[in-house]
């Protein structure tokens, strides 16, 4: 669960994601990539702007949004990150570990 | 007065106070668009001034609603119900402190299975709240 300023701007709230090795992800259709920093890029749908992917240029993994997954995921949250940048309009009330 | 923008600032806007409290929407469309759930306020259209709309694009998300986003960086910014004189604005797009509070979670019947809602706020399986801004 990422509360950083970039994820908040792009998602409209908080971005939740998991990641896999890039070879484990098969993408169908077009992705619009935005270089959000010198070291990472963000992928969204060019038609509806769904925020789908985050990729660090130097890493061989790719993060994908949990909201994009169909049906039950069987996943659980492991941590909140960049909570120092969180919005003032919500509280983090679960017991998931937080990192500043 | 509030200011907001997308991630790359190809869309910037001003919002005139007061803003409606935040609703957190867990519907399928908001989950897909945002990547988690979508938190938003709502303003009369007269309270929203686009100061840059270079990147603004629209997606017709249903026969009666459309979503506004930045075509450059993909930020999800607006939701507009047709026939109503208001615009729903992403809380995450607003710069700095908002002084707002989340009022309720809506469409929780559609929420993801990977998170719990633990904040004690009201939860509804549909929208229940101040429809108008």
Task: Sort out which chain B residues have CB atoms less than 8 A from A10's CB and list them.
Answer: 6-7, 73-76, 92
Note the pLDDT tens digit of each residue in A45-80: 999 999 999 999 999 999 999 999 999 999 999 999
Task: Sort out which chain B residues have CB atoms less than 8 A from A93's CB and list them.
Answer: 118-120
Task: Sort out which chain B residues have CB atoms less than 8 A from A16's CB and list them.
Answer: 35-36, 112, 114-115
Residue recorded with tokens 């003032």: A88
- Whether the per-residue pLDDT at B133 is higher than 90: the answer is no
Q: What is the ipTM of this complex?
A: 0.95
Calculate mean pLDDT across residues B97-114. 96
- Whether the per-residue pLDDT at B126 is higher than 90: the answer is no
Calculate mean pLDDT across residues B26-46. 97
Look at residue B128 in the predicted model and tell me its pLDDT.
Answer: 73
In angstroms, what separates the C-alpha of B64 from chain A's closest C-alpha? Answer: 16
- Whether the per-residue pLDDT at B1 is higher than 90: the answer is yes
Calculate mean pLDDT across residues B41-67. 97
User: How far apart (Å, rounded) are the C-alpha atoms in residues B74 and A44?
Assistant: 6
From the list A17, A46, A75, which residue is nearest B35 (CB)? A17
Q: Which two tokens stand for residue A15?
A: 């971005």
The three-class DSSP label of residue A55 is strand
| % pLDDT > 70, chain B | 96
User: How far apart (Å, rounded) are the C-alpha atoms in residues B101 and A13?
Assistant: 13
Look up the pTM and report it.
Answer: 0.96
Calculate mean pLDDT across residues A28-34. 97
- Whether the per-residue pLDDT at B130 is higher than 90: the answer is no
Read off the pLDDT band of B132 (50, 70, 90).
low
């Amino acid at each position: 669960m990422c509360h950083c300023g970039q994820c908040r701007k792009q998602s409209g709230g908080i971005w939740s994601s998991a990641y896999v090795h890039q070879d484990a992800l098969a993408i169908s259709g077009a992705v619009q990539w935005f270089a959000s920093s010198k070291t990472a890029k963000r992928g969204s749908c060019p038609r509806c702007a769904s925020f789908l992917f985050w990729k660090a240029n130097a890493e061989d993994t790719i993060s994908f949004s949990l909201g994009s997954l169909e049906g039950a995921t069987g996943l659980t949250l492991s941590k909140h990150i960049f909570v120092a940048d969180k919005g003032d309009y919500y509280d983090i009330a679960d017991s998931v570990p937080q990192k500043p | 007065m509030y200011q907001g923008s997308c991630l790359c600032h190809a869309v910037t806007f001003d919002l005139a106070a007061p803003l409606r409290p935040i609703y957190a929407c867990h519907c399928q469309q908001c989950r897909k668009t945002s990547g988690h759930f979508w938190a938003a306020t709502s303003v009369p259209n007269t309270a929203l001034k686009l100061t840059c709309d270079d990147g603004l694009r629209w997606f017709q998300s249903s026969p009666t609603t459309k979503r506004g986003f930045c075509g450059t960086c993909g930020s999800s910014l607006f939701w507009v119900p047709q026939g109503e004189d208001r615009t729903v604005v992403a809380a995450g797009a607003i710069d700095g402190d908002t002084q707002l509070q989340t009022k309720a979670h809506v469409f929780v019947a559609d929420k993801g299975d990977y998170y719990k809602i633990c904040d004690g706020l009201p939860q509804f399986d549909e929208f229940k709240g101040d429809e108008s801004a």
